[in-house]
Amino acid sequence: MQLIGIDTGGTFTDFVVVADGRLRVHKELSTPAAPEQAILAGLAALGIDRTTARIVHGSTVATNTLLEGKGARTVFVTNHGFADTLTIGRQARPALYELCPLPEPPPVAPELCLEIGGRLAADGSVIEAIDVAELARLVETIGTLEPQAVAISLLFSFLDDRFERQVAAALPGTLFVTRSSEVLPEQREYERGIATWLNATTGPVMRRYLERLAAELAPAPLGVMQSSGVTAEPDYAARRAVNLLLSGPAGGLIGARHVATAAGHPRILTFDMGGTSTDVALIDGDIALTSEGRIGRYPVGVPMVDMHTIGAGGGSLASVDAAGVLHVGPQSAGASPGPACYGQGGTTATVTDANVVLGRLPAGLRLGGRVVLDGAAARAALALLGTALGGLSAEEAAAGVVAMANEHMAQALRVISVERGIDPRDFTLVAFGGAGGLHVCALAEALGMRRALAPTAAGVLSALGMVVARPGRRLSRTVRRALDELDAAEVAALVAEIAAPGLAALAREGHARETLSQAVAVDVCYAGQSFALTLSWADAGAVATAFHAAHEARYGHRLDLPIEVVNLRVALDAPAPTAAVAAAAAGGDLAADLATRYPVHARAALADRGGLDGPAIVCDDIATTWVAPGWTAAVDTAGNLLLERSPPA
């Protein structure tokens, strides 16, 4: 059996193949208009026999559909008086001191927001049932509006979803119908409504894509990475498209934890720099999840890996504004035309071009075995930028571009560490993605860190994460109870009820009940607070002690107030498909005429020596690492490149 991880990125589609414990890697230029084309091309290039393959895919289709405004036409159904819930939102202004903000279009046009009865009170009692005649009129109105999808979000449906089910049952089967009680059975009507709409508007697009891809890949079974870091079958993933909005980045965190833990680094800051964006996260043992993530301007209440994303990547465009100020990103050169050094017609300077001009990415190097870096084109692009900056040389402009990109990324790392009261000096910085190794030393220095890791298969680590990820489900429900009122028997009964649909879904995917692991957590807060902290559940006393300590660590104080349990969370995991992956066959052929001022080493060759001092460049088939002055690098037994900062003289 061959296990194959595929991560579709903005510039490259990455492949990892594991068979008999050995690992192969491959890159294809992405085909954004039809992502499956790059997938099929890569599988053909790798010579994959689909009768003996199992594939796990991290997709950007749902994310791109949302950010590009190409979602399905969706009707939003809610209770009388609440049709404008998604438009009003939280009334939070994105720019607090902007006197004349431009109006944002509502998520759903007013004419597509419909109302009906089926109103529950906060205790779950019925205030207003659904009138059969009114329901018939609603169905007729929906028919005249000709939507592709319907999102149903009624008040307090997480307590009793009978009315949502009644509305859904009355709608024609040709529509993609989403109920809030199955997408996000939690309190907060705005966040629950947005999550339901996100699922509905991206669902039809995702369903068509996954059906098409599964058919193309047959007979190989297909798994899909979810934003929470566990995989699911295509049918389930298509019905829960909102759970795929961080599909690819979640794979990166799984891969980073896998290789870092094996190398003896359980406490890590991750830094995933691709062609279009950079994702950063903090892992202290387990991968943290959040229900307060955002995609664009929308909150996403479903569980997703806790990371921070900025629009800075290797393909980020450098520009000069009317005041003569340099900007880097968020616009990107993408896969086509890509950076100027890719030789595909790009002429605007990017971060990748700047690294070529500075000699940190050697001209003539073959990226991913396909793209030969054009040093002259990179220099021409940076020369134009230097002229726009007032007559700077290409090298000076390149240094400015890299410095600005580094500062953007260092600030992102501070957001997930220093701004949360965590000292990054106690962690190892793990850099991956195609461009991560070029900036890892500078970022570690900016945060006062002395140790970093450029993992084996760093350029395709998100795809590696797909291979080692567990199938599973992340389930939740609002309970809103005082902590001291919950006893062990009641919690066990609630957990069994919440877990039941997840267990059934995993059973349909072929995972026996006795092989599954289960973990329970609670969202807790002081009575009267609006936001909660998530803690593992053991018993009420242990949660109370842990919550006081966690609250003080996060906010600097603890309160003498009752503690409230807001949500109950259940994590179900099946065994990982593979327990260990051998080191990648890194190295490859280095061209003899690489144009750079620094020594260039193949990563594989470093295994036979004690290490090297910077400045130097370490290359393999899929990633390049810049070992800055004052740093040393050595390859460990797993093929990872361990970087350490020399102590000050």
Which regions of the chain are under pLDDT 50? 583-589, 591-592
The predicted structure's pLDDT at residue 587? 44
The predicted structure's pLDDT at residue 311? 79
The predicted structure's pLDDT at residue 277? 80
Q: Parallel, antiparallel, or unpaired for β 222-225 and 53-58?
A: parallel
The predicted structure's pLDDT at residue 588? 46
Task: State pLDDT tens for residues 180-202.
Answer: 999 999 999 999 999 999 999 99
Helix (H) or strand (E) holding 407: helix 394-415
Distance, in Å, from the CA atom of 159 to the CA atom of 357, rounded to the nearest integer, reads 60
Q: Is the pTM of this model over 0.85?
A: yes
Distance, in Å, from the CA atom of 614 to the CA atom of 598, rounded to the nearest integer, reads 9
The predicted structure's pLDDT at residue 91? 80
**CA triple 232-233-239, angle to 5 deg:** 85
User: Tokens 């003996």 label which residue?
Assistant: 52
Q: Quick one: fold of 74-206? A: Rossmann fold (3.40.50)
* Parts of the chain belonging to CATH 3.40.50: 74-206
Task: State pLDDT tens for residues 418-464.
Answer: 988 889 999 999 999 878 999 999 999 999 999 999 998 888 899 99
518-521 contact pairs (CB < 8 A, 24+): 518/570, 518/571, 518/572, 518/573, 519/570, 519/571, 519/573, 520/491, 520/495, 520/568, 520/569, 520/570, 520/571, 521/568, 521/569, 521/571
Using DSSP, state whether 601 is helix, strand or coil: strand
Using H for helix, E for strand and C for coil, what is the string for 280-333?
A: EEEEECEECEECCEEECCEEECCCEECEEEECCCCCEEEEECCCCCEEEEEEEC
The predicted structure's pLDDT at residue 1? 81
User: Tokens 């995993």 label which residue?
Assistant: 506
Phi, psi values for residue 235, rounded to 5°: -60, -45
Q: Give 388: exposed, middle or buried? Use CB within 10 Å, 0-12, 13-18, 19+.
A: middle
Residue 273 CB neighbour total at 10 angstroms: 28
Tokens at 158, concatenated: 């997480």
**C-alpha closest to that of 441 among 416, 412, 406, 411:** 406
Phi, psi values for residue 559, rounded to 5°: -120, 150
